[in-house]
Structure 1
Amino acid sequence: MSTEIDNLKLLLFAFNCGQVPHASSVIRNAIVSTIVREQPTSQHQTSQSPIDLPDLIFLSLQELAPIYDCLLWRNEEEFLTPFIDAVTHLTGINDGVFEHVATCSAGLTFAVLFRRVPLSLNISDVRTSVVTLGYFETGLKGAASIRVNVSSGTLSTEITFVAAHFTANEGYREIRDHNFQDIARKFAFFTDNNVNSSKEDATDRDFFYKDGSQMFILGDLNYRVALPRPTPPPSQVAGIAVPGPASAAVDQSKLAGNYLRTPKWVAPQRSFVEDWLDYDELTISRKHAGTAFFGFDEAAVTFPPTYKFDSNREYVPGRVPSWCDRVLYFDMFEGGSGVKVEKYTSLPELDGSDHIPVYAITTVPFKRPGSLSEQLVANLLKNNIAASTAAPVHQTTSLGVSLDRQVAPTAIRARQIKLQNRHIAARTGRIKNMEKLVGGLVYLVLSPAGNGILLAAFLGLVSAYVLLRTYPPGINSYRTGLEYEGTPTTAASDIQMLNRV
């Protein structure tokens, strides 16, 4: 291999793990299949033919472990280790070896980055940032990001990877839009990876949107298919076919409450996917409403909805199947000539969750893209989202911070960062305490050990109540002493005894 490469090949993998452990061998086989299945086939290709491996692998994992393991005990290692071992010990692909670069977590959401070795790639300036989006700003939902500088010889580029998990449930599109806006506002990348150790007034921070940084965001974004009621979309879902011997078209008899109900994992016809994507909330927010993912793009969705499945791998009746799990990219190269998506699909082979994982294989130019466009920056500022950019913009945010970078870009950027740092410092301690409280409550209610503690406490209270009712303080305790001495007692004799005393 030459000392310099023109393009970086990335494998981006998103999976909602369902708070259950997954075997390393199963994960390894799934990841290998994503790599091997994308190789070009020819009559001359054999099992010994070289395989074009990705240069970087990024895992976006949501609900990696139970809530109490992540928020209370911080004991998610046994759930994370199988994923790290699976990637660092890949087999059957020309002895390709991957090295763990960094891990960043926001509650139950994890971002994990790997690089291929040996390869003439140097990873430097690793920065991380987290934003929590759950109830009371806890890590029940959130986003974890890793920003790195990748260089090879004289070439270099900066890439930002984001693992995200947005608000759940149908009908909450606007809240999910606000989730994205929150991470775009609150992300701050620290050189030392430690928010608490940095000075509040330090200004060596970068915002989420930044000149020259290529960005990817993936995970369980939870955007649903918002079907119009009372009728289904134009296709009448007649084009869904179930693979295998039981293959048959799904007709109106398969609809319950105007929701799709299919007997097994389905491979819908393209017309069906196109019809339903018209009602996809993420498409609406990104393309039509313009309220989230400013500047981001997504490759064509050609795979079936990835949520919601039961333990038998069937869509759950009464729930609208949706493309909750997505991969998006930010291409700052002129004319969208930078990021190339070679593959974007789901991976039904990896089960154990009510989600189907998705992955994308992309290439990015090994060079720094240009600056953020003036139009994009103006749109960001309209939504009170700051950016690390030299784009000329004349506007004042609701915080009263002038963003006329043509006048004083350095001083203004410093003031923006100071405001953000104060907000981060103020909420960090509060969030950690709240996470422990939420984790403790969930532990008591949902875990077997916690149930045992609650049962023991309940039995203890009942026992104490019974004892107090049986042997109350006062007259009865004195009476018990008389009974112990063998003296017959009555209520009248008790009173006489007390009068003597």
Structure 2
Amino acid sequence: MADLKCLYVTFNCARNLVNAEYFSQCIGSALPADLIVLSLQEIAPIAYSFLGGSFLTSYYDRIAKAVYAAGSKKDTVYEMVLAENVGMTGLMLFAKPRVARRFSRIETSGTGVGLWQMGNKSAVGTRLSYVIESEDEELVLTFVAAHLAPAENAYEKRNADWRTINENMAFTSITHRKTLQSKATPSPAMDESEPLLSSATDAQSNQSSQQNSGMFNPTSHLFFAGDLNYRTSDNAPGPHDHTTWPQPTTSSSDTRHFTNLLSKDQLTRELKADRTLHNLHESPIAFPPTYKYSTEAQNRVAERLSTPSSLDADLGSEEEEWLWAKHRQPSWCDRILYLLPPFPGTQPTIQEYTALPVQPTSDHRPVALLFSIPLKSLPQSGEQADWATPPFALRPDWQARRVAARRKEIVVGVLAYFALMWEGRALLLALIVGSIGGWAVLRSLLAY
């Protein structure tokens, strides 16, 4: 194997269970890849996301089911290597068995960037050391999933979130595996007793004595993906703006061709001004905005999928109309960027950068980057050793800040569970009724 073929997909799940069969079809065209990485935002409702553990099982299960099904159609088996989350942002990693066996070290990291650095907006990452066959070298890959601040006028907050991620993401090694409660469905190739990796937060707490490593590392490739939320306007749209928004057309001279809106992209502007995502590169965008699709757009997909044998036809059909939500400017919120090492023969080869079809469960379209990485380690020293210098230094109190934020997440998660989730409200009602009934029985006993 001369190169490692990778598929990186970012998807804002909109707090819903994905349609596994349709999502499987959407990613299947890019397979078989050696490594599949999924950056997931709003993976589940805030109560489940903040509480974690078994509350996320069904959400991970749907994603895993989609990956395994997509692989089986290409006669490829995948193992789930990693399922991590910080709040509502998740990262899942799947690999062919022969690839998974060559990971000599796995590191994880995560930080919140929401209120009080909680995980309603957050970033979670992993760093993998892949032993190159027949050589005493390692290929090091870092993948980060992120969800930044929303709203058209909040681009400066998004820039600040990028700084917070740099200052608080310290990667620490997982030196052991521990049994977890079915964090996600095991792959067909795995023994069901095979334990999954511990969570990013747990790993950080248990490995505090180790030397920390920030997101930028001169020995590692870096891929940064997520709902970065950069918009195409600094202001919310007016009541009639939607009449000028992009629609399918093959002529770039047409005023409604999406390239006319792409020129107003905030992320492109902020990158050029060196105010965010420093040192990262993005492949040319040749796909329409990925946000915000209307409920009608999602319902149309759902209706088509309800017809037998409609999956393949739906994927191959040309879109006649893009149905936008009228209160949000169509934007390329979902992005994948990466570092370009300056060393010959080490840069990733990008094969495709595209948006996947509209999903029936989300107002975002997933975005996929298909690429290959030469099996060649990056130099650890030399004249260009500073090519991956971090734009912001890691804070010495990163761990204490994450622990404090995690405590707040638990409190908010419990409150949200009882206030917002039907089973939580039912449990609370049962507790109240039980307490009243118990008090009534106790009073009657005391009356004798």
- The answer to whether TM tops 0.5 is yes
**Residues 242-290 of structure 1: CA deviation (Å, up to 9, x unaligned):** xxxxxxxxxxxxx84434566x974575453333222111111112x10
Q: CA RMSD in A?
A: 3.3
Cross-structure match for 1:488:
none
Of the candidates 4, 16, 29, which is equivalent to residue 20 of structure 1?
A: 16
Q: Distance in 1 between the 2:236 and 2:59 partners?
A: 41
Matched AA of 1:351:
P
Q: Distance in 1 between the 2:216 and 2:78 partners?
A: 29
Give the Å deviation of 1:446.
3.0
Cross-structure match for 1:152:
132
Matched AA of 1:223:
Y
**Residues 121-164 of structure 1: CA deviation (Å, up to 9, x unaligned):** 61121000001111121110101101001123115310001111
Q: Is the contact made by 1:13 and 1:58 (CA closer than 8 Å) also made in structure 2? A: yes
Cross-structure match for 1:322:
331
Q: Is the contact made by 1:166 and 1:221 (CA closer than 8 Å) also made in structure 2? A: yes
SS in 2 for 1:146: strand
Cross-structure match for 1:87:
67
SS in 2 for 1:195: helix
Q: Distance in 2 between the 1:72 and 1:157 partners?
A: 34
Cross-structure match for 1:415:
none
Cross-structure match for 2:393:
385
Cross-structure match for 2:26:
30
Q: Is the contact made by 1:331 and 1:338 (CA closer than 8 Å) also made in structure 2? A: yes
Q: Distance in 2 between the 1:150 and 1:213 partners?
A: 11
Give the Å deviation of 1:183.
1.2
CA distance 1:377–1:332, shift in 2 (3 Å) = closer
Q: Distance in 2 between the 1:92 and 1:261 partners?
A: 43
Q: Distance in 1 between the 2:244 and 2:431 partners?
A: 44
Q: Is the contact made by 2:345 and 2:374 (CA closer than 8 Å) also made in structure 1? A: no
Give the Å deviation of 1:320.
0.6
Q: Is the contact made by 2:26 and 2:357 (CA closer than 8 Å) also made in structure 1? A: no
* TM-score, normalising length: structure 1: 0.68
Q: Select between 111-120 and 143-152 the one with higher mean Cα deviation.
A: 111-120
Cross-structure match for 1:165:
147
Q: Distance in 1 between the 2:427 and 2:52 partners?
A: 16
Q: Is the contact made by 2:14 and 2:361 (CA closer than 8 Å) also made in structure 1? A: yes
Q: Is the contact made by 1:97 and 1:118 (CA closer than 8 Å) also made in structure 2? A: no
Are 1:76 and 2:59 an aligned pair?
no
Of the candidates 65, 70, 73, which is equivalent to residue 44 of structure 2?
A: 65
Give the Å deviation of 1:73.
5.6
**Identity between Structure 1 and Structure 2 (%):** 29
SS in 1 for 2:172: coil
CA distance 1:204–1:455, shift in 2 (3 Å) = closer
Cross-structure match for 2:241:
258
Give the Å deviation of 1:218.
0.7
Matched AA of 1:68:
A
Unaligned runs of 5+ in 2: 175-199, 298-322, 435-448
Q: Is the contact made by 1:333 and 1:369 (CA closer than 8 Å) also made in structure 2? A: no
Cross-structure match for 1:286:
271
Cross-structure match for 1:177:
159
Cross-structure match for 2:107:
127
Q: Is the contact made by 2:145 and 2:225 (CA closer than 8 Å) also made in structure 1? A: yes
Give the Å deviation of 1:295.
1.1
SS in 1 for 2:284: coil
CA distance 1:226–1:274, shift in 2 (3 Å) = same
Cross-structure match for 2:285:
301
Give the Å deviation of 1:437.
2.5
Q: Is the contact made by 2:4 and 2:375 (CA closer than 8 Å) also made in structure 1? A: yes
Cross-structure match for 1:206:
213
Bigger Rg over Cα = 1
